[in-house]
Amino acid sequence: MSTPDPTGLAPGAVLGILGGGQLARMMALAAADLGVRAHIFAPEPDSPAFDVAARHTIGDYEDEAALARFADAVDVVTYEFENVPAATAAFLAARTPLHPGARALGLTQDRLNEKTFVAGLGLAVAPFRAVDSLADLEAAVGALGRPSILKTRRFGYDGKGQVKIAAETELSEAYEAIGHFPAILEGFVPFSREVSVVAARGIDGAFAAFDLCENEHRDHILAFTRVPARVSAPAALAAGEAARKIGAALGYVGVFAVEMFVVGESTDETVIVNEIAPRVHNSGHWTSEGAQTSQFHQHVRAVCGFPLGSAARRGRIEMENLIGDAGLRWRDLLAEPGAHLHLYGKRDARPGRKMGHVTRISPEAG
C-alpha cells in the first residue's frame, strides 16, 4: 500500500485508472510513454482501455474487495469520469493517493454545489435556483423567466437529464421529464460561443492552461473544437484566470476543464462559467499534436507528482469528433494530408458513440 500523500513517484510506478473508455485509453498510452504502467478498473469486459494497459480489473465500482486489491496494486489512482461514486472515491482515497481528490469529485457531481462554489469564488455564472419540488420549479421560473433550463443536480452529461423550459412548456411535464430528481433551474444566457479552458495543476501548485478552446456541439455532443477561440484577448485571459482560481480553490491535482459561455460584445465581451469537468476533456484532444505536452501526458505528470510540461500551442487547430458512422471514414482520413487520426478501438459504431477524432493543424496566420 502506498503512502497517502506522495511528493512524487518515479517511472515504473503503476497508475490506477477508474473507467475503461477512450479517455482512460489515451491516459494509459501517455503513461506508457513516460514509463508508467497503467492498471484499468472498469466493469465492462470489452473496455477499450484494456487493450493498452499493463493490467486490468473487471469489477463493479461498488465491489470493495476488488477495489481493495486494486488499491494495493497501484501507486496512485485517477479516473476518466466525474460520476465515480463518492463511496468508491472515499474507499480508495483511504488506501492510496487519489488525484484529483474527493473534494473536486464531490463538488462537480452536483450542479447546485458546483454553481454555488464557483459563484462563491466571485466568478460569473448563469442565474440559478435549486428545485426540489414542482412548487420550487414554479417559483424559480417566476424568478428567472423563460427560456430557462431545468437540469438534474447529478449524473447529467451530453445533454442527458435536462429539459428546456420554453414559452409553452408545461412545468409539471418538465419536472416529470427529469424524473422528479433534485434539480437546478438555470436562467437563459444569450451566449455567442461556447469555450473551454483545459488546464493542469501539479501537486506543487504549479498551473498550466492550454489555449482557450472554442467548441461546437451538435445534439448536445461535442462535434468540433477550434483553437484559438475567437474571443477578445481580455476575455481569454479572464477565462484562464477563472480556471486558475477554480483549480487553486479545489486544491486540484491533475487536468481539468472549465466549460464557459462567451457573452457580451466587443469590449464588453466576457465569460460565464458553465461547468467543471474534473478530468481530461474531449475539448483538449487536440493537444496530442497541437501542444508541446498533450493533456494526457500532462495529467499523468500531475497525478504522479512529475513536473508539468509546457502547454504551448503550435499552429491553428481543428479537432473533429468522429461520432457513430463517422469512424467509417478512416481510410479517407488516413489519406488526408495533415490530418491526425485517432481511433478508440471500439467494436460497435452505435449512433452518438464517440469512435475517434481527427486533428488538423494549419500554420498560424501571419
Residues 37-96 that bind its own copies (CB under 8 A): 37-38, 50-54
Size of the site for its own copies (CB under 8 A): 38
Find the binder of its own copies among 1, 10, 90, 143 (CB under 8 A).
Answer: 10
| Gap between the Cα atoms of 338 and 107, Å rounded | 40
- The answer to the question of residue 145 lying near its own copies (CB under 8 A) is no
Based on the shown chain and the rule CB under 8 A, indicate whether residue 356 belongs to the binding site for its own copies: yes
Shortest separation between residue 289's beta carbon and its own copies, angstroms: 9
- Pick the binder of its own copies from 172, 192, 310, 362 (CB under 8 A): 310
Cell 427560456 belongs to: 147
Neighbours of 69 (CB within 10 A): 14
The piece of 67-75, 82-90, 183-191, 329-337 that touches its own copies (CB under 8 A) is 329-337
Smaller CB distance to its own copies: residue 37 or 279? 37
- Per-residue H/E/C for 237-289: HHHHHHHHHHHHHHCCCEEEEEEEEEECCHHHCEEEEEEEECCCCHHHCCHHH
Best CA proximity match to 270, nearest among 200, 185, 187, 193: 193
Among 35, 145, 234, 352, binds its own copies (CB under 8 A): 35
- Is residue 196 within 8 A of residue 282, CB to CB? The reply is no
Residues 270-309 close enough to bind its own copies by CB under 8 A: 292, 301, 306-307, 309
Q: Which is nearer to its own copies, 61 or 210 (CB)?
A: 210
Provide the β-strand partners of residue 37: 14
- Three cell numbers written together for 358: 481527427
CA dihedral 184, 194, 283, 159 (to 10 degrees): 40
Choose between 122 and 363: whose C-beta lies nearer to its own copies: 363
Binding site for its own copies (CB under 8 A): 10-12, 25, 28-29, 32-35, 37-38, 50-54, 292, 301, 306-307, 309-310, 314, 327, 330-331, 334-335, 337-338, 341-345, 347, 356
